[in-house]
Structure 1
Amino acid sequence: MTLGHAAQRAGLSKGVMSKLENGLRFIRSDEVRALCTLYGVPSDVQEQLVKEASDESSAHLEKSLPGVPKESNTLASYEGDACRMTSWQPLLVPGLLQTFRYTEAFMAADGIPADEIEARAVARLRRQEVLKSRVRYTAYIGEFALGVPVGGPAVMAQQLRELIIAGQRPNVTIRVVPSDAVHSGLLGQWLLLEFPHARPVAHVEQLRSALFLAGPDAQPYADAAARLVDVSMNATDSVRIIEQMAETMEGRAGGGTATVEEVD
């Protein structure tokens, strides 16, 4: 049975199948069951494997490693497979929308070793390539995040201008959530990933690790995403307030529109 044939019969993409077989992504219990059924695994063995996968996939913790964190590689794999992503960031610009200078400045403030910052920042830029695909990406950003001058006013002005440009893509939606809005997202940031043939996964960042929640454990984040629609500004008003904050930052930086720097 070829890789493509097995993937098709199991209801998975060929890319996902390849990553699973090469250990580049942890496997969920529903994927284990589908593959066990396909390969004719005896029922008693199948149930044991599904149980083991359930224990791993319901709450999967990835810890940071030196250089580019392992969690970042796992997240990039999920992002590549997703058909829809919803991000909530109350205090920062979402990683998939950050400029290189913004990322670099925040990592330095976060205490990341200087010799690791460039590799991590470049890896984040590589992840942003996913937004050039067909994935639908909605970013809910807390109003407070627009006024935090990460890297200084000039860097922040550039970042805000880039947010406006990113929001012009047909598959990207940016909506600002007012600071006085009361909702469950006040408990913290998260990213919800949805897939064509698998259950959603929620990625919850922690200080030096991240938690991946699948199946029922991801449902509260889907519910929270639905509630954010009601408390956020529409796309037009969001652009307006981002524009206003960009002008404010440019004024603090000494005037002039920030320029976009190309990073290889």
Structure 2
Amino acid sequence: MPQKKQPPTVRLRRLAAELRRLRSGADLSREDVAEQTGINTTTLYRIETARARPQKRTLMSLVALYEAPAEQRDYLVALLRDAGQQGWLRPYHSDLPEEYTAYISFEDEALGVRNYETSFIPGLLQDEDYARAVIRGVLPTATEGEVEDRVRARIQRQGVLTKSKPLRFWAVVDEAALRRVVGGSRVMQQQLRHLVEVTKAPNITVQVIPFGAGAHPGMPGQFILVEFEDPMDMDLVYIDSMAGDLFLESDAEIRRYRSIFDNLVAVALSPNDSAALIAEIAQERARKGG
């Protein structure tokens, strides 16, 4: 069985971006570089798109060709040295999709995450029973072992919210996600109570778009905008859809999704009013015998 490749890290993405910038600044095409260094164009493409980690001698050949100053060469060598460091280890998550494990790595290294959800409570705010019910519902053919692997991964991910420098998490959720009864009334009531509690953390903001807001820019589907502290680290958008997982990284795409999120914030209830609505829906569930 082929070995599962490591997902890219923020450092590897940064190294790739720097090498692209240096080549562009030297006014060289990939074909020019291949001719002058012997590094084939396919290998160079994979290095510049963070699909492959270059060997040190390859990196040194490139920075010499690009005439990078000594200080920058040292910086790139340090990036290469640390490029394989994952945000957290997943010894029992080897069967998770590569795109998802890549997202987990980026999430752990992020400064902030903005998450819009249409149908679910955001993964970082789910309790264990709700997460299990969601995963079973979305993946009806998954084995119990596969379900439990994903539940453990989801719960372990939530450590980013309580680590020494916690992730800044801002979620906008459609009211439909709060009213859909996932896992039964008791599980849903418990999840809503959990959501009320986690919204009290200073690094977590939750806003709800009520049904009364009508049509809004988020109706086509959910997305996650990941933001990094170092300006050298490119922000990215992660979309989990029926067609597969997708990462978007271009400036135009990041601006578009940031604008969409800002619009969603504008039509959503304030954080305080959102917390009140969540508590009200939880009480409704309790009155119905949840």
More relative contact order, 1 or 2 (CA 8 Å, 6+ apart): 1
Q: Helix, strand or coil for the counterpart of 1:186?
A: coil
Identity over aligned residues, as a percent?
Answer: 29
Distance 1:180 1:51, change over 3 A: farther
Distance 2:237 2:9 in 1: 14
Partner letter of residue 85 of structure 1?
A: V
Distance 1:119 1:33 in 2: 33
TM score, norm. by length of structure 2: 0.69
Contact map agreement 1:189 1:204 (CA 8 A) in 2: yes
Q: Report deviation, 1:89.
A: 0.4
State whether structure 2 residue 287 is matched by structure 1 residue 251: yes
Q: Report deviation, 1:24.
A: 3.3
Partner letter of residue 71 of structure 1?
A: E
Structure 2: segments with no counterpart, 5+ residues: 35-40, 52-92
TM score, norm. by length of structure 1: 0.75
Distance 2:21 2:188 in 1: 52
Q: Report deviation, 1:207.
A: 2.5
Among 181, 205, 216, the alignment partner of 1:183 is 216
State whether structure 2 residue 206 is matched by structure 1 residue 174: yes
Distance 1:208 1:101 in 2: 27
Distance 1:251 1:69, change over 3 A: farther
Residue correspondence of structure 1 range 63-212 to structure 2 within 5 A: 67-110=95-138, 111-115=140-144, 116-132=146-162, 133-181=165-213, 182-196=215-229, 197=231, 198-207=233-242, 209-212=244-247
Q: Helix, strand or coil for the counterpart of 1:176?
A: strand
Q: Helix, strand or coil for the counterpart of 1:78?
A: helix
Distance 1:218 1:33, change over 3 A: closer
Q: Helix, strand or coil for the counterpart of 1:212?
A: strand
Distance 1:23 1:120, change over 3 A: closer
Match of 1:24 in 2: 7
Distance 1:23 1:122, change over 3 A: closer
RMSD: 3.0
Distance 1:82 1:102, change over 3 A: same
Q: Helix, strand or coil for the counterpart of 1:173?
A: strand
Structure 1: segments with no counterpart, 5+ residues: 1-21, 57-64, 255-264
Q: Report deviation, 1:84.
A: 1.2
Q: Deviations over 1:92-135 (max 9, x none)?
A: 10111111111111221221413310111111111111111432
Q: Report deviation, 1:37.
A: 7.6
State whether structure 2 residue 248 is matched by structure 1 residue 213: yes
Q: Which is higher, the Rg of structure 1 or of structure 2?
A: 2
